[in-house]
């Protein structure tokens, strides 16, 4: 099949790539651009490990054809920190030990930033409801929810 030429921005960098019609975005990001923070988990849109932001919205890159991101803006976990300065959500995850094996962490952090953009003051229920897109196989959900709460509301004093 004929390759397609696509141009997109990823983590504020313009890229031009030649992709096959059936290339999945997750594979392009990992294998061609070597941004391995995004993970290939279930491959059918159940686990959320492949989450990236496209035009600011969290989507599943394992269910996105690379051909469809022509002209779009993508953010992966690698694009959140500014140089050595981590994103506040990354700091909150670190401080709350919201990481066990780390496989789901990039996707958790990206989805959490999208949540706070939509809803800057979420309740615990709203956090849990939104974060249901992303599965943590180590089941460290309590720390993840705490980290997001802290990032949104600041550290709790009690």
Partner 1 sequence: MNQFKYISPKTKEKALKILKEERVNACIVAGSTNVLPDIKVKKLSPKILVDITAIEELRGVDKKKDKICIRPLTTIAELINSELILKEGKILIQAAQEFADPLVRNNATIGGNLVTASPAADIAVPLLTLDALIKIESIKDKREVKLKDFFLGPGKTVLQDDEMIVGIEFEQSDINKNGYFIKLGQRKAMAIAITSVAVNLDVRQNKIIRIRVAAGSVAPMPIRLTVVEEFLENKEINNELIEEATNKVSEEVNPISDIRASVEYRRYVSGILFKRAFNKLT
Interacting residues with partner 1 (CB under 8 A)? 1-2, 4, 20-22, 24, 43-46, 48, 51, 57-60, 63-65, 67-68, 111, 129-130, 132-134
Q: How far is the CB of 158 from partner 1 (least distance, A)?
A: 29
Which of 59/109 has CB closer to partner 1?
A: 59
Which of 42/84 has CB closer to partner 1?
A: 42
CA-wise closest residue to 5 among 23, 26, 29, 31:
23
Which of 13/70 has CB closer to partner 1?
A: 70
Q: How far is the CB of 36 from partner 1 (least distance, A)?
A: 20
Residue 9 three-state SS: strand
CA-wise closest residue to 26 among 9, 10, 43, 47:
43
Rounded to 10°, the helix 88-95/105-118 angle is: 120
The sheet carrying 51-54 orders its strands as 13-19, 4-10, 73-75, 51-54, 57-60
Q: How far is the CB of 30 from partner 1 (least distance, A)?
A: 15
């Amino acid at each position: 099949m004929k390759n397609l030429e696509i141009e997109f921005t990823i983590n504020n960098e313009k890229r031009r790539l030649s992709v096959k019609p059936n290339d999945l975005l997750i594979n392009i990001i990992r294998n061609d651009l070597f941004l391995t923070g995004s993970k290939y988990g279930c491959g059918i849109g159940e686990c959320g490990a492949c989450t990236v932001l496209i035009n600011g919205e969290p989507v599943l890159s394992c269910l996105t054809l690379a051909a469809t991101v022509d002209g779009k803006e993508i953010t992966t976990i690698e694009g959140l920190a500014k140089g050595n300065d981590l994103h506040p959500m990354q700091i909150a995850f670190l401080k709350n030990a919201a990481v066990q094996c780390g496989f789901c962490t990039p996707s958790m952090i990206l989805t959490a930033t999208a949540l706070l953009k939509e809803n800057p003051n979420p309740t615990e229920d709203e956090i849990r409801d939104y974060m249901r897109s992303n599965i943590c196989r180590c089941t460290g959900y309590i720390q993840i929810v705490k980290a997001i709460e802290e990032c949104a509301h600041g550290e709790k004093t009690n």
